[in-house]
Amino acid sequence: MTAIDTENRTAVARTDLDAVAAVAAAARRAFAVTVASTAAERATWLGAVADALDASATELIALADDETRLGTPRLTGELARTTAQLRLFASAVVEGSHLEATIDHPDPQATPPRPDLRRMLRPLGPVAVFSASNFPFAFSVAGGDTASALAAGCPVIVKGHSAHPRLSARTAEVVATALAGAGAPEGVFGHVTGRERGVALVQHPEIRAVGFTGSLHGGRALFDLAQGRPDPIPFYGELSAVNPVLITRAALDARADELAAGLAGSFTLGAGQFCTNPGVVLVPAGVDFAERVAAAVGSSAPVPMLTDGIAAAFAEGLAGLTAHDGVTVVAGETTQQPGTGSAVVLATTTDAVIADPSALLAECFGPSTLIVEYADVESALAAVRAVGGSLTATVHAEPGEELGDIVAVLTEVAGRVLFAGWPTGVAVSWAQQHGGPWPSTTSIHTSVGVTAMRRFLRPVAYQDAPDAALPPELRDENVLGIPRRIDGVLTVP
C-alpha cells in the first residue's frame, strides 16, 4: 500500500499488516543468532551502523530538514549525537559491566546451604521501537532505543514516525545495509509504517518489549495494549513532563537577569519541542521575574513546528491555560498561527496551582513557560509535589543555602535533578538518567545512556551448572576480562 504525506506531497510506502507478521518472524529467527552473539560481534554491528550514518550525513540531514524544518545546524549536531551513542554502546557491551555477572560459590555452612549460583542478564528477544517526532535521528530509526536494544542482543523492529516518513525509510535502508555488511543476521532490523502496524507490532506474540517516545495519550493506549496481551510485556514509554524549576530568593537577588535569559533560551529552544522543556518555574512572590523573562524573549516571531498536529495541540493547551482565572499572560500571543508556535510567558501563584493542578500543570508542548510565585519554600514544594512525575527538576540557589528539603522533594518527583543550568540538553553517558515517575515514563529505567540496555535484558541464574554449559561470562576463567561480583566481592580485571 502507499500513503500520501500531505505536508510534503510525497508517496511513502506503508507496511501491509501481513508484512508485520513476516518482519516479526524474521526477527525471531534472528534472535537465535543474536542471543548467542559475542559482545565483540555486536560492537562491530553498532560501529558499522554509526559509520554508515556518518557517510550518508549530507543526504540524511537534507531529508530531515525538508521534513522537519529543524535546520541544518541542529540536525547536524543531532546526527553526530546519534552516531556517538551507537559507538558508546559498542564500547559498553565489550566492557561488560552491564551484564551484572555474579558468581556465588557453594557454601554448605550457610543457612540454608548455598549451591553454586551464577547469574547474569540475558536479552529478552525481539523489541519494537516507536520513533519520536521531535528528534528525527537521536530518538528515531537509529536512535537510543534501537542502539541499546541491538547492544543488548535483541533484534529491533522500528515503527517509523509519520512526521518524517522519507527520512525514516532512508535511514532504515542505511541501517539494514550496514548491519548486513557487518555480518549481522537477516531479520535483526526491520522497519514498518502506519498506526495500525504499530498496534499490530505491540500485540504480536514475537515482540518481547516496546520502547516508545511520544504523547501521553498515544503512549498510554499502547501501554494498555502491551499489558492487556495474553502474555503482557514491558512497555518503556517516555510520555509527558513539565520539569519544574525552583529558584530561591537569594539566587534571584544575585543574578535575576542571568536566570531570566537562561530560562528564555531554554523554553524557546527548538520551538519548545523538547521533552525536558522547563514548563513550570517557581519564584518568590513580589519580584518581577516574569517580566524579566518576557524582556529576555523579546519579540518572538512564529516558528514552524514539527507537525500541524503538534502546533494545534500547543494552541489548544495555551487556550486552556490562558482561559484559567488564576493565570496572567505576561508576554506573547495567546492565539497561535496554524502550524507555528511563538513564545508565551504566563504567570500564576502556588495557591492557584495547588487548587487546580490538573488544569495548570498539564504539559503544554511548545514554546511556553508558567512562572509560579510562591510565598515561602514550603508552598513552593507543595506545588512541586502537585506537578507529579517529571523527567527533570531543577533548583537554582546560592552557595551556602540549605537545600536538604528542596532536594528531597525534587528527587521524589524527577529522574534527573539539576543544581545549575537548564534541563534542555541530555548528555549521553554512563551516569545519565532520562526517565522519572509517571507520567514522565512508564518504568523506572532510563532511555538515554548506557543503562538504557537494562530495559531489554532479563536476569537468569544457573545453579550447579558444569563449567562448559555456562555462558563464557560466568565460567571460572574470566576469558572476557569483564567486571564480576564473586562471593559478594566486586572484581575488576
As a whole number of angstroms, the distance between CA 198 and CA 158 comes to 9
Rounded distance between C-alpha atoms, residue 388 and residue 191, angstroms: 35
Q: Which three cell numbers stand for residue 62?
A: 537534507
For 297, residues 6+ apart whose C-beta sits below 8 A from its C-beta are 264, 268, 331, 332, 343, 345
SS (H, E, C) 444-462: CCCCCCHHHHHHHEEEEEE
Q: Is 258 a catalytic residue?
A: no
Interatomic CA distance for residues 472 and 487, integer angstroms: 18
For the question of residue 275 being annotated catalytic, the response is yes
Contact assessment for residue 194 and residue 23, using Cβ atoms and an 8 Å cutoff:
no
* Distance separating alpha carbons of residues 130 and 218, to the nearest angstrom: 11
Q: Work out the angle at residue 441's Cα, subtended by the Cα atoms of residues 435 and 446, and round it to the nearest 5 degrees.
A: 30
Rounded to 5°, angle at Cα 336 from 332 and 339: 135
CA distance 391 to 17: 35
CA distance 244 to 381: 10
Give the whole-angstrom CA distance, residue 390 versus residue 150. Answer: 27
d(CA 314, CA 88): 35
Instruction: With beta carbons less than 8 A apart as the criterion, state whether 353 and 381 touch.
Output: no
Sign of the torsion formed by the C-alpha atoms of 464, 465, 467 and 470 = negative
Closest CA to 365 of 292, 310, 307: 310
Q: Out of 206, 238, 363, 373, which one is annotated catalytic?
A: 238
The catalytically annotated residue of 67, 154, 206, 275 is: 275
Q: 2, exposed or middle or buried, with CB in 10 Å at 0-12, 13-18, 19+?
A: exposed
Find out whether 238 and 447 touch, Cβ atoms under 8 Å.
yes
Nearest CA to 159 among 208, 211, 204?
Answer: 211
Which among 372, 370, 369, 394 is positioned nearest to 382, based on CA atoms?
372
Q: How far apart are CA 72 and CA 78, in angstroms?
A: 10
Q: What are the Cα distances from residue 23, in Å, to 199, 212, 270?
A: 14, 19, 35
| CB contact at 8 A, 149 and 166 | no
CA distance 473 to 484: 9
Cell representation of residue 57: 550525513
Known catalytic residues are 238, 275
